[in-house]
Structure 1
């Protein structure tokens, strides 16, 4: 793959509903077999459209993959931003802080079926490591993970302004939170989907407890 525009080219022609069918099918196929294993023919079959229809919307498989990755990342990021606001937007006292953070952590680690294909694509990207195109990797990070990190960091900074947290570097504080609440070592090999509600709460509460130990104001 050589493109560096993050797949942001507009479709050349075609109906929006056909494009959405292609995007849904592409997420499934790319998540199932990866970029190298996917083909336009397979995606067309999955989407119940002709290969010509796909080429009416996208120049080639490379542009299709880039578009799927970036748009899907933006959707996941928007969901995480709404989650952050829902749990931390109204936090105004030390009494609310721990419960609100635990609620956020539980939602963070709980699997979202609608994003299962995106998670599968990301897993394949991580497995490819340095072999994944750097420009597309950067575009994905900007559209998804870094966008969420900035949103969470901004919320952590506001909590610090209210005297509820001790924060020297808000982005590093956001990273600490995510790492601590997503640690599932020893919790089974099949990931978050295998966790019960009780296990999810236990992981979230333990992660938040460790986070607050490092970030509560010392006085």
Structure 2
């Protein structure tokens, strides 16, 4: 692979059809088992058409992962701004933010099926793909959260030395906990159970970062 950016070759409508088909096939079959023949059949195009748009299977998988990650990141950015730009009640705002961020998983079922594939087949997916995925996917959401927490701390509502670390802690205590239990939405939990998990996580986070100690 050359530059790890989405390739833009061929007709846009054909490219999008291939990406949709590839996302479905990769999500169902996994990276290793998925074949270009199956993707071509799902997209109702020839293998030659796929190769007109993507150099190889690695490139196609990467573009599918990156485009999905960009869509999710844009949605999460809106959720962050809605809940964290102006804090009224710190605990409730963090809870509402975390619940909406978890709910966003259900808006992108095919993408998070791909996330499950990446986690399950990490040892078989080429390292450049994994690195690019981390930088554009999970890492981007993490880096976007940190500045919001820094601004909250600047108001004296939290005591934060390292905003990136604080963002990681909040994510682990809330979103990651639920995503691990639901396998990114594959096995949904009752809403009340999710709320209890998130509330407990937010309260633990606030205790850990309370400006006057726990």
Distance 1:152 1:77 in 2: 11
**Partner in structure 1 of residue 50 of structure 2:** 54
For residue 121 of structure 2, give the secondary structure of its aligned residue in structure 1.
helix
Contact 1:7 1:67 survives alignment (8 Å): yes
TM-score normalised to structure 1 length: 0.87
**Partner in structure 2 of residue 168 of structure 1:** 161
**Per-residue deviation, 1:191:** 5.4
Alignment pair present for 1:84 and 2:77: no
Distance 1:140 1:76 in 2: 13
1:200 to 194, 200, 205: 194
- Paired residues for 1:23-172 under 5 Å: 23-91=19-87, 93=88, 96-110=89-103, 112-172=105-165
**Per-residue deviation, 1:132:** 2.9
Q: CA RMSD in A?
A: 2.3
Alignment pair present for 1:216 and 2:214: no
Q: Structure 1 residues 167, 76: CA separation in 2 closer, same or farther (over 3 Å shift)?
A: same
Q: Structure 1 residues 111, 43: CA separation in 2 closer, same or farther (over 3 Å shift)?
A: same
Measured against aligned partners, the alpha-carbon deviations of 1:173-197 in whole angstroms (never above 9, x if no partner) come to 0010011113249967895742122
Contact 1:30 1:38 survives alignment (8 Å): yes
Q: Structure 1 residues 31, 216: CA separation in 2 closer, same or farther (over 3 Å shift)?
A: same
Aligned length: 212
Distance 1:23 1:189 in 2: 23
Range with bigger deviation, 164-173 or 47-56: 47-56
**Per-residue deviation, 1:83:** 1.1
Contact 2:122 2:130 survives alignment (8 Å): no
- Regions of 4+ moved over 4 Å: 184-193
Q: Structure 1 residues 186, 113: CA separation in 2 closer, same or farther (over 3 Å shift)?
A: closer
For residue 164 of structure 1, give the secondary structure of its aligned residue in structure 2.
coil
Contact 1:110 1:192 survives alignment (8 Å): no
Q: Structure 1 residues 10, 192: CA separation in 2 closer, same or farther (over 3 Å shift)?
A: closer
For residue 110 of structure 1, give the secondary structure of its aligned residue in structure 2.
helix
Unaligned stretches of 5+ residues in structure 1? none
Distance 1:154 1:189 in 2: 28
Measured against aligned partners, the alpha-carbon deviations of 1:8-39 in whole angstroms (never above 9, x if no partner) come to 3331x2x2112111111111111111121111
Distance 1:8 1:190 in 2: 24
